[in-house]
Amino acid sequence: METEAFWQEWVLNFLKTQALVFIGESLRNLKLKGIEWAVDFSNWLMNELTELIINLYHQADEQERKTFKDKIIVAFPGSSILEKLN
């Protein structure tokens, strides 16, 4: 009976370890996929926001355009949006 309990305990410990390894690997893979998704979403969002900013810029009056463009130059000097605002 002690031998049977030993094997049952060993099998349960083995299964528990395998389950923990599986869960850990699954979480790691989900994290990696989450990072990829977040980068893709950020890229899409930046493209959408850039288009919105450009459209609003073209609808603004001259003073608003100048103020906005001056602020972009100061805050984001290397921004590609400056080329699109002309």
pLDDT over 90 (residue 63): yes
Flag whether pLDDT at 2 surpasses 70. Answer: no
pLDDT for res 67 = 92
* DSSP string over 18-67: HHHHHHHHHHHHHHHHHHHHHHHHHHHHHHHHHHHHHHHHHHS-HHHHHH
Range of the domain at 46: 2-84
pLDDT digits over 5-61, tens only? 666 777 788 888 888 888 888 888 888 888 888 889 999 998 898 888 888 889 999
pLDDT classification of 66: cutoffs 50, 70, 90: very high
Total tally of structural domains belonging to the chain? 1
